[in-house]
Structure 1
Amino acid sequence: MRTEDTLHPPAAPITGEVSELTPAADPAAPMPPLYRDPVVLSAREHAHWRLLPGDAAFAAASHAVPLVIGEFAAAARDYPLVFTGTDAAPV
């Protein structure tokens, strides 16, 4: 397969507006697990943001979370790894 057959330029230039960087096709579409209100970070607007010590209360209602392969070994020490669907997607 030729590269020019698989790569396409973006439909419009990206200006950094949130509406251009987030999917807006279906506003009722569910958010990914553990997300509530994602925003595009700006070094100017969010310079004062920091990670604060806390707990995992934000994940209390989650029964499963997606993992990437690099997280399997650490997660498998304490939790079972379950694959769902025919595409073997980790959950």
Structure 2
Amino acid sequence: GVFGGDVRSVDALDRAVADPGDAWRVRELAAALAWYAERDEGFAAEVVGWAQEYGPAAGVVQNIHAGRDAYTAGRDMTVQQRPETDPASE
């Protein structure tokens, strides 16, 4: 009821449902949900329950192929470049 009475928020929901792969649309919906959740504890509890019920849609896969040292962790990535060497001179 709280969220559904706001045309802009309902539009954000409709756009995110129509194209869930569009990160901007999903962020817009998340911002609307967070705004209402901060103001209404009952709504916040509903959002938490919904999130727990459905969980993440997919996992994250990270594939690294490097001709140099690559250390990755979460969203961070450090690439250490080695000086170019001529195999014939070794």
Q: TM-score, normalised by structure 2?
A: 0.23
Would you tell me which structure has more strand in proportion to its own residues?
2
Instruction: Say which one has the larger Rg.
Output: 2
Would you tell me which structure has more helix in proportion to its own residues?
2
The structure with higher relative contact order (CA 8 Å, sep 6+) is 1
